[in-house]
Structure 1
Amino acid sequence: MKLIWFVNFMFILYCVKGDEQNHKYEDKEEVLLWMNTVGPYHNRQETYKYFSLPFCHGQKAEISHYHESLADAIQGVELEYSGIDIDFTVDMPRSKVCEMDVNEEIFQSLKYAVDNHYWYQMYIDDLPIWGIIGEIDNAKDYYIWTHKKFDIGYNFNQIVDVNLTSESKTKLSVGSKLSFTYEVKWKPSTVKFSNRYEKYLDPNFFQHRIHWFSIFNSFMMVIFLVGLVSMILMRTLRKDYARYSKEDELDDMERDLGDEYGWKQVHGDVFRGASYPMFFSSLIGTGYHLTFVGFLVIVSTIIGDLYTERGSILTTCIFVYAATAPVNGYFGGSLYSRQSGKGWIRQMIFSTAMFPMMVCGTVFLINFVAIYYRASRAIPFTSMLSVAAICIFVILPLNLIGTVLGRNISGNPDYPCRVNTVPRPIPEKKWFMEPIMIIILGGILPFGSIFIEMYFIFTSFWAYKVYFVFGFMFLVFFILIVVTMCVTIVCTYFLLNAEDYRWQWTSFLSAGSTAVYVYLYSFYYFFFKTKMYGFFQTTFYFGYMALFSVSLGIMCGTLGYIGASLFVKKIYSTVKID
């Protein structure tokens, strides 16, 4: 246990440590310019090391290449020192960085970059800067921007603004000479350090009237569904209770001759354990876990404005996922115990490894493509070992603790009806009442409540937008929970009324089918809303969208199961069962 707590403590220290700089400078103190990545403009995730193109370093001594955090390594941040001399509040006139002779190899490399609209990214004091490499004129001649002009704003002893202007367009040809230069202008600014990231935000895009309308429309959907569920509970079930109470007053012969039908008839099988209980309970535990992680990360980002610091959101996700691992063990282990599962250790290990293995497997395959392309998105082996260590030494022990607590606190069955020894035959029913149809249709309304938000989230991740409206995301998250539960309750009622007691998997899959519609929408977004191209970007896009969709499906499926489970326990606990 001491080892576990030590690893947890070290992991927390690793995650919460900030940038090595404290963002405060003295006059004439060195300011580092970090070169990050280059890549085609339309393929944001297809990035390469800045110096993978034949750019030359500045004359100043190099600082070794490093990743500041695990999140940087995973996101493909490749910080390399530029060698350009910049000192705080010291203007630098036009100065030479380096010069190089263009041979055939350099010409072809830069020509390819210009043809594909390559942009590059740099960082000064954790503020990102973007610039374009070159352009083609009407005569099809290639030009390279060789001069970088930095206008840096400072407020007291902190940098609050950085602007880059590319100048000196030089024609690119074999045998020519490229002379790269730079200059720095420092200007006092009234911008507060806490507000310096606002220039990168786009309020007109994210706070558009369509965004507000989608939230309002989703709230109307919530009101409608809550009303529908209330009607089922208050009116339809009241009639069912009255009918069943009348049947209870009849003698056995009259009851046998009566027309028995409806959800009461499956009371002896409705609490029967789901098929594949280990897999099912692991999915439910993982769904609870992902729901907690999503909620805590959204709230943390709203409170702390995490989007302003590079890699902070991903670091928070990793930390919160590891710290809340007992949630997975508690709910998954208790459900498996209530279903009379015997191999609880295997279930605990499977539940712990299922989602990380799915993530690592997908990333591992994509990593092969990134390594082949020599892209910066290739995750280093040491980072993979770090993730494996977190899973083994942090997540697994915490999951074990949660499993033990779950089995002892809520592991005993508390069903209002006893389970029959022999399963009841499931009668034939109309095609639209079959579980497969309920599963297909169950995800439409939840998807309808979030698909506008999906557009904004996709645009922020796959295009050059910074997502900052996490208040909207929190509202959509709440709406998704309510809509998913309400829809699943309605689907479960119809299924049970058709005397089909297979509600556990049906409720999970009907809510989880939301992810199928999200993934189908990702195809539409890729082909009609972006200009992405190439095997690398296509693999990266659809691989990570599949991972996102599966995660969303597990979370929505768990929410659906939670709503259906509460509904089933409620209606059967108020019915007199002989």
Structure 2
Amino acid sequence: MNVQCSVKHEYEGEWNEKTRLTTCDPHAKRAVTSSESPQEVEEKKEIIFTYDVEFQESDIKWASRWDTYLLMADDQIHWFSIVNSLMIVLFLSGMVAMIMLRTLYRDISKYNQLETQEEAQEETGWKLVHGDVFRPPANSDLLCVYVGTGVQFFGMILVMMIFALLGFLSPSNRGGLMTAMLLLWVFMGLFAGYSSARLYKLFKGTEWKKITLKTAFMFPATVFAIFFVLNALIWGQKSSGAVPFGTMFALVLLWFGISVPLVFVGSYFGFKKPATEDPVKTNKIPRQIPEQAWYMNPAFSILIGGILPFGAVFIELFFILTSIWLHQFYYIFGFLFIVFVILIITCAEITVVLCYFQLCSEDYLWWWRSYLTSGSSAFYLFLYAAFYFFTKLEITKAVSGVLYFGYMLIISYSFFVLTGTIGFYACFWFTRLIYSSVKID
């Protein structure tokens, strides 16, 4: 597109909004198409500015025409974020390798070589709790629901990022990203029901319909209730940004009409399959847990465990918050996918390391702690959101502040479910692996 300016125009009669310039009429003989007749600027003289727009065909593909507007920041910042996260991953990978290849291998070999029961009783550490490590936890129903919801989130984000990397989501299509997330969430209900039912059957549960209803309604109902209250506040302000009633009804219809039935279908097939067998038998009488050191306190270890996953993503989180609240484009899905992979690895490794230390302290209550360890990164995400609110945003109205913290609460809650599920499955695989390697009579 070329813009050509011209001056020193003429017109007939008095000037008004409908006046046509005789020097800009394409049918006039004296038409001025460029600054061929420059006008000297004099005091109290009238100056008229016009412009013509000439469109030319471009060789740039439509999918690449937004690239100029999508360059939000220097790529070096994102590469710095990834390098920073990779350092965390390498550190944790070294610790996991040391535990798996050296400590565990030595412990398992030594324990399997013990010949008498008296020698085995003199052993200490994670091997002594083999009869209790797979004992179902307290509130096992709730854990099954959260794990199933986390699988649903994981599937939604993974497929959405693949679509974004392939170029199916364009910033020119406003709302396309949110629409894709909602549809993927609805269809991933199949995997949510399957995962929760499989874990529920592992815990010797029998009422699969009850756990299915909780999986289908608990998390969506909580998020929808918060969203409805926030939307009611926008309605009260008579803002055009409020979600119309018809859209709200469509969301409920997707929830009840597609998501809930898919959760039931997944739960039916998940509960129909034979239960996963534990590597070792569980004792009838629970073993007494010895007094733990201060650094193995559940609250302390859980809060410590959430720092590294948050540290792996917080730089990229700044750009995501900027795109949401400062109306900038975020379309660097390649970087985002790399950060997402790093987040998965970090959550898995930090949870495995802390779970191993917990079992070595003869504390076998790892089910919930494995979920909360990596899930606690959502707590730091919400704290960072509060820091961002007071340092980067200039929001003075109370309603706007409530909207910000309400939506960030939903995002943090979703992040908790996602990261908690990653940590849980990492520990689930880890414990089954190490205890299946120990010979127990």
Q: Scaled by the length of structure 2, what TM-score is found?
A: 0.85
Q: Which residue pairs with 1:566 in the alignment?
A: 429
Structure-to-structure mapping, 1:475-490, within 5 angstroms:
475-490=338-353
What is the Cα deviation at residue 198 of structure 1? Answer: 3.2
CA contact (8 A) 1:300 1:306 kept: no
- 1:544 maps onto 2:407 in alignment: yes
In structure 2, relative to structure 1, the CA distance for the partners of 1:576 and 1:355 (3 Å cut) is same
- Return the match for 2:395 from 504, 515, 532: 532
- Return the match for 1:453 from 307, 316, 322: 316
- Return the match for 1:278 from 127, 141, 147: 141
What is the Cα deviation at residue 563 of structure 1? Answer: 0.5
Q: Which residue pairs with 1:240 in the alignment?
A: 107
Q: Which residue pairs with 1:137 in the alignment?
A: none
Q: Which amino acid aligns with 2:316?
A: E
Q: Which amino acid aligns with 1:461?
A: I
Q: Which amino acid aligns with 2:162?
A: V
Q: Which amino acid aligns with 2:64?
A: N
Q: Which amino acid aligns with 1:195?
A: S
Q: Which residue pairs with 2:70 in the alignment?
A: 201
CA distance in 2, matches of 1:198, 1:218: 26
CA distance in 2, matches of 1:462, 1:373: 19
Q: Which amino acid aligns with 1:320?
A: L
Q: Which runs of 4 or more aligned residues in structure 1 lie more than 4 Å from their structure 2 counterparts after TM superposition?
A: 183-186, 253-256
What is the Cα deviation at residue 218 of structure 1? Answer: 1.1
Deviations 1:335-361 (A, max 9, x none): 011111122111101101122112211
Q: Which residue pairs with 2:115 in the alignment?
A: 249
Structure 2: 5+ residue stretches without partners:
1-15, 19-49
Deviations 1:375-427 (A, max 9, x none): 12322222221111111110111111111111123x50311101111111111
CA contact (8 A) 1:339 1:413 kept: no
What is the Cα deviation at residue 242 of structure 1? Answer: 3.5
CA distance in 2, matches of 1:548, 1:404: 30
In structure 2, relative to structure 1, the CA distance for the partners of 1:575 and 1:199 (3 Å cut) is same
CA contact (8 A) 1:273 1:339 kept: yes
Q: Which residue pairs with 1:225 in the alignment?
A: 92
What is the Cα deviation at residue 452 of structure 1? Answer: 0.3
CA distance in 2, matches of 1:95, 1:268: 89
Q: Secondary structure at the match of 1:563?
A: helix
- 1:395 maps onto 2:259 in alignment: yes
- 1:334 maps onto 2:334 in alignment: no
- 1:353 maps onto 2:217 in alignment: yes
Which structure shows the higher strand fraction? 1
Sequence identity (%):
36
CA contact (8 A) 2:208 2:271 kept: no
Q: Which amino acid aligns with 2:428?
A: S
Which structure shows the higher helix fraction? 2
Q: Which amino acid aligns with 1:211?
A: H
Deviations 1:11-57 (A, max 9, x none): xxxxxxxxxxxxxxxxxxxxxxxxxxxxxxxxxxxxxxxxxxxxxxx
Q: Which residue pairs with 1:162 in the alignment?
A: none
- Return the match for 2:55 from 188, 203, 207: 188
Q: Which residue pairs with 2:155 in the alignment?
A: 292
CA distance in 2, matches of 1:553, 1:255: 40
What is the Cα deviation at residue 195 of structure 1? Answer: 3.5
- 1:376 maps onto 2:246 in alignment: no
Q: Secondary structure at the match of 2:105?
A: helix
How many pairs align? 392
Q: Which residue pairs with 1:362 in the alignment?
A: 226
What is the Cα deviation at residue 537 of structure 1? Answer: 1.5
Q: Which amino acid aligns with 2:332?
A: V
- 1:522 maps onto 2:389 in alignment: no
Q: Secondary structure at the match of 2:420?
A: helix
Q: Which amino acid aligns with 1:221?
A: I
In structure 2, relative to structure 1, the CA distance for the partners of 1:356 and 1:424 (3 Å cut) is same
- 1:316 maps onto 2:316 in alignment: no
Q: Secondary structure at the match of 2:171?
A: helix
Q: Which residue pairs with 1:215 in the alignment?
A: 82
In structure 2, relative to structure 1, the CA distance for the partners of 1:200 and 1:458 (3 Å cut) is same
- Return the match for 1:500 from 363, 367, 377: 363
What is the Cα deviation at residue 529 of structure 1? Answer: 1.8
Structure-to-structure mapping, 1:57-96, within 5 angstroms:
none
CA contact (8 A) 1:301 1:307 kept: no
CA contact (8 A) 1:329 1:401 kept: yes
Q: Scaled by the length of structure 1, what TM-score is found?
A: 0.66
CA distance in 1, matches of 2:397, 2:207: 47
CA distance in 2, matches of 1:474, 1:381: 34
Q: Secondary structure at the match of 2:401?
A: helix
Q: Which amino acid aligns with 1:223?
A: L
Q: Which residue pairs with 1:510 in the alignment?
A: 373
CA distance in 2, matches of 1:508, 1:363: 25
What is the Cα deviation at residue 464 of structure 1? Answer: 2.6
In structure 2, relative to structure 1, the CA distance for the partners of 1:302 and 1:458 (3 Å cut) is same
CA distance in 1, matches of 2:201, 2:333: 37
CA distance in 2, matches of 1:275, 1:464: 44
What is the Cα deviation at residue 238 of structure 1? Answer: 2.0
CA distance in 1, matches of 2:340, 2:118: 52
CA distance in 1, matches of 2:119, 2:197: 45
Q: Which amino acid aligns with 2:137?
A: A
What is the Cα deviation at residue 95 of structure 1? Answer: 5.9
What is the Cα deviation at residue 185 of structure 1? Answer: 5.5
In structure 2, relative to structure 1, the CA distance for the partners of 1:485 and 1:254 (3 Å cut) is closer
What is the Cα deviation at residue 194 of structure 1? Answer: 3.3
CA RMSD of aligned residues (A): 1.8
CA distance in 1, matches of 2:17, 2:304: 65
Q: Which amino acid aligns with 1:547?
A: I
Q: Secondary structure at the match of 2:381?
A: helix
Q: Secondary structure at the match of 1:424?
A: coil
CA distance in 2, matches of 1:236, 1:455: 39
CA contact (8 A) 2:351 2:426 kept: yes
> Which of 1 and 2 has higher RCO (CA within 8 Å, sep 6+)?
2
CA contact (8 A) 1:484 1:559 kept: yes
CA contact (8 A) 2:169 2:176 kept: no
What is the Cα deviation at residue 308 of structure 1? Answer: 2.7
Q: Which amino acid aligns with 2:92?
A: L
